[in-house]
Amino acid sequence: MWQDILDITEPMNWTANAVFMATRIFISNMKPKQAQIFLNTIVLEHVREDIKQNKKLNYHLYMALKKALYKPAAFFKGILFPICEDQYYTTTLKECVIVGSVLAKVSIPVLHSAAALLQLSGSDNGDTDSTYNGAKAIFIRILLDKKYALPYKVIDSLVYYFISFQNINNSNKNFNGGVASDMKLPVLWHQSLLVFSQRYKRDLSPDQRNAILDLVKVHYHHLISEEVRRELTSVNTNFESNYASNNQIDVSMDTS
């Protein structure tokens, strides 16, 4: 019913300020599922079209994205994941950088971010595809840079995400996954691996550290891989203690 009422107002013809005002009202009063649909079908479409037309994002639409994060689960499901799951490879680096800057600036509860990291790394949806996805690499790096105390389940999922690239050929991908000629994995992937190593090296088991060290031998970046290796070889951990303390939280994307 609410969607029918909104359709009468022709939401795709709203001004940027109208999108912000509507987001401010609806995000506080809608149920999570309704908010997810609103963000996906109206806010995201306005954001993508504005970036496409102007090569930057209108201030009011940027503020609408910030306001949308008051319902983190709806934001992730309605905006972030659809950007990552774009099957037509139309997502641009600029879109991800702009949405990522909102993600970086707004405080997000750890449970929501942990659940998002599970989804992005593939464990929460059974995705075992190791095809490079630039959007995922950017958002994973930004969420990791928030320095959460993550449950071990999430850390394990991220380790698996990275080492799943061990046996792929060094194909050149477009930003969001298309295959082209021979080339190493993009720097965005290496940056996300470095941030993961910096933030969570003390939470990794010896086997996990060794697996990542083997990984950077296969996918080597002349500026970043040595930093990853240095991070992982410079720390002594009490893994059993860390595992016990980080493995107590149930992570679910159903949080509202």
pLDDT tens digit string along 132-143? Answer: 899 999 999 999
Q: What is the pLDDT of residue 179?
A: 39
Residues of the chain with pLDDT under 70: 1, 87-89, 123-130, 169-183, 237-256
pLDDT tens, 183-242? Answer: 578 999 999 999 999 999 999 999 999 999 999 999 999 999 999 999 999 987 655 555
Q: What is the pLDDT of residue 130?
A: 66
Burial label for 78, CB within 10 Å (0-12, 13-18, 19+), is buried
pTM: 0.86
Q: What is the pLDDT of residue 253?
A: 59
Residue appearing with tokens 């005002």: 21
Strand (E) or helix (H) holding 92: none
Q: What is the dihedral of CA 176, 177, 183, 187, to 10 degrees?
A: 40
Q: What is the pLDDT of residue 126?
A: 54
Q: What is the pLDDT of residue 226?
A: 96
